[in-house]
Amino acid sequence: MTMADAERIPGFNTLAIHAGAKPDPTTGARATPIYQTTSFVFDDVDHAASLFGLQAFGNIYTRIGNPTCAVLEERVAALEGGTAGLAVASGHAAQVIVMQTLLVPGDEFIASKKLYGGSINQFNHAFKSFGWNVVWADPDDLSSFETAVTPKTKAIFIESIANPGGVVTDIEAIGKIARKANVPLIVDNTLATPYLCKPIEYGADIVVHSLTKFLGGHGNSIGGMIVDAGTFNWSRDKKYPMLCEPRPEYSGIVLHETFGNFAFAIACRVLGLRDLGPALSPFNAFLISTGIETLPLRMQRHSDNALAVATWLTQRPEVAWVSYSGLPSDKYHSLAQKYCPKGCGAVMTVGLKGGYDAGVKLVSNVKLFSHLANIGDTRSLIIHPASTTHKQLSDAQKVQAGAGPDVVRLSIGIEDKEDIIADLELGLTAK
């Protein structure tokens, strides 16, 4: 091997297959084993003490960490360009762990109005039980983020591509606002995945994922991921006690001083996941890691198919509008060219001229599409958000979230695009 070979940084496709993984040292198995165990044997008493005291890295208990999950964590962190990752039970669990690490009762965080309906509900209602208060801002009006900042603000939360409307958010501009306020920018990168967009390159300090969607990609496993960008100074203003103050659970260790640019991931693991407990199953970690191996191939096919479908839909008499940033006519197209040059993903919303009833008719008459509450599957999926995923929101919130009564959300799969289009034509023209 030459020096050039030794220093070569693997490309995205290679990392998707190899990052975090190596043949099993005991058996030689090439695929990562499923370490389906609750606990791990210590070498001796001193080894156990060093693990529990954060003086050595290793496995203790699967609620805190597991070798199968570790492969997944390293793989996603590598793809995102972060310093470390933490796998948890779901995307919602990832958001809870992140906020529990950053916020204390009475604190605020700013969030984009254009988010997945489940996140809006979680922020508006469940988080209030912890005393965490959301302040909403409009990604189409960047000044609304600046004016929302108060001394109580501890974070800003956005989605790279917003669910369900496929809206592209100006990550770099909001990142500058976050830096000015000296708070971390959290980006949910679920819809884009790091294949289409790398938020850390544009100022994100923390990236979260619902692994359930495109990273896993096959609709068979629930999971979430937190990626630490290693870019935020947690000690600067002493605003984040979990990271910058001595931890009594660990003999007074200051996590940021001890672990540096991956301290946030460590805090999420040894304080959040340890105590709140939303651990990811090793079996799910295995399935999701396997799915990631084909992520580049799938995301390109998703994006290419979605652009073809969106273009076709704009020509249909039954369709009032299509929200998909891959369309040159879309208001977010220029942002998409900047942040997602390889494609704009699989998810779009369609406004039907017949309103609510037309949406019900469409989802009831397609055959190839699966009518269900998910995105990111290899299969094409369809749903009417106003009566399902966003039902808990007020009418005004539904419209703000891009889920009004006339809206149908599509997640375009990797089938032949001609079959996808034919199925939509069947649903649109049904009597």
Tell me, what's the pLDDT at 96? 98
Backbone angles phi, psi at 161, to 5 degrees: -115, 120
Tell me, what's the pLDDT at 318? 97
Tens-of-pLDDT digits for all 431 residues of the chain?
A: 454 556 788 999 999 999 999 999 999 999 999 999 999 999 999 999 999 999 999 999 999 999 999 999 999 999 999 999 999 999 999 999 999 999 999 999 999 999 998 899 999 999 999 999 999 999 999 999 999 999 999 999 999 999 877 889 999 999 999 999 999 999 999 999 999 999 999 999 999 999 999 999 999 999 999 999 999 999 999 999 999 999 999 999 999 999 999 999 999 999 999 999 999 999 999 999 999 999 999 999 999 999 999 999 999 999 999 999 999 999 999 999 999 999 999 999 999 999 888 998 999 999 999 999 999 999 999 998 877 777 777 778 777 666 788 999 999 999 999 999 999 999 999 98
Q: Give domain limits for the chain.
A: 11-291, 295-429
**Residue 59 is encoded by which pair of tokens?**
């496995």
- The CATH label, of 3.90.1150.10, 2.170.120.20, 3.40.980.10, 3.30.56.10, for the domain at 295-429 is 3.90.1150.10
Fold for domain 11-291?
Aspartate Aminotransferase; domain 2 (3.40.640)
d(CA 224, CA 222): 7
| Strand, coil or helix: 250 | helix
pTM of the predicted structure, to 2 decimals: 0.95
Nearest to 154 by CA among 178, 138, 118: 178
**Residue 300 is encoded by which pair of tokens?**
């390109």
Query: Starting from the edge strand earliest in sequence, which strands make up the sheet with 407-411, in order?
Result: 319-323, 347-352, 407-411, 381-383, 370-371
